[in-house]
Amino acid sequence: MEFVLIALVSIAGLLMGSFFNVCIYRVPRDQSIVKPASRCTSCGTRLAWRDLMPVISWVSLGGKCRYCKSPISYRYTLVELLTGLIFVVLYLKFGISGSFLTYAILCSILIIATLIDLDFQIIPDGLVLTGAIFALLLIPAGLSVHWKDALLGMLAGGGTFLLIALLSSWILKKEGMGGGDIKLMGMIGLFIGWKLTALSILLSIYAGGIIGGLLMLLRKKKRGDAIPYGPFIAAGTVIAILYGNDLIQWYILTFL
């Protein structure tokens, strides 16, 4: 039974990942995510279901379009696998529960936001708004955090980043935090409440510092180059969701 559920959850994750690829491509280009049907971005041939099966199609076609043979980025497959993996990990941690549903929706938004931020250095308002609407539906259904905790989470998340943005523009005279990041962090707070939000902010700052430092060390980036911050917010939030309560517990026992 357990095995069947894991298989179902991973298939759901792969299919959702395939849909997220459509969102990642179309949302920043202001195209509908429903219509028209998927086409090859090179030759424009309308793709059939057998061209669109997550992972399987890409592998069986050798990473090339069936019709024009242009290469198809491995990234589509990677997004599908990542979504499947995150769904399974969430299921193993939370079972089929309100937490699973809440976090699966939040992680879905974060996967889409991360890839769009990497491509275009923006986090679309529509995406953040969609997440916020989902959060506001989950709260009265009793599937997520209490509404007071959600509200505090939104204020803590958005407020902290807004403060960082204001301070860095006053003191450093440069944009330290984009508007998209501020809104994204506020939306995350609505999903996870203020404690995990605080942890997620800390983790994202650590991750950003470490990866940013590495990129400078490897001379991929210079001091002052813009690095999209959305991926670090997403990574910090996923870690906070999976290990946050353990980390907070450990911190209290060790230091307080």
Residues in touch with Zn ion (CB under 5 A): 40, 42-43, 65, 67-68
Judge contact between 228 and 118, C-beta under 8 A: yes
What minimum distance in Å lies between the beta carbon of 64 and Zn ion?
8
DSSP 160-222: HHHHHHHHHHHHSSS--S-HHHHHHHHHHHHHHHHHHHHHHHHHHHHHHHHHHHHHHHTTSS-
Measured at the CA of 189, the angle between CA 185 and CA 192, to 5 degrees, comes to 130
What minimum distance in Å lies between the beta carbon of 51 and Zn ion?
9
Q: Considering beta carbons, is residue 65 or 89 the nearer one to Zn ion? A: 65
Q: Considering beta carbons, is residue 41 or 97 the nearer one to Zn ion? A: 41
Please, which contacts does 158-166 make with residues 24 or more away whose CB atoms are closer than 8 Å?
158/182, 158/183, 158/185, 158/186, 158/189, 159/186, 160/185, 160/198, 160/201, 161/185, 161/186, 161/201
Beta bridge partners of 64: 71
What minimum distance in Å lies between the beta carbon of 21 and Zn ion?
16
What minimum distance in Å lies between the beta carbon of 22 and Zn ion?
16
Q: Considering beta carbons, is residue 19 or 67 the nearer one to Zn ion? A: 67
What minimum distance in Å lies between the beta carbon of 74 and Zn ion?
16
Q: Considering beta carbons, is residue 10 or 42 the nearer one to Zn ion? A: 42
Q: Considering beta carbons, is residue 42 or 121 the nearer one to Zn ion? A: 42
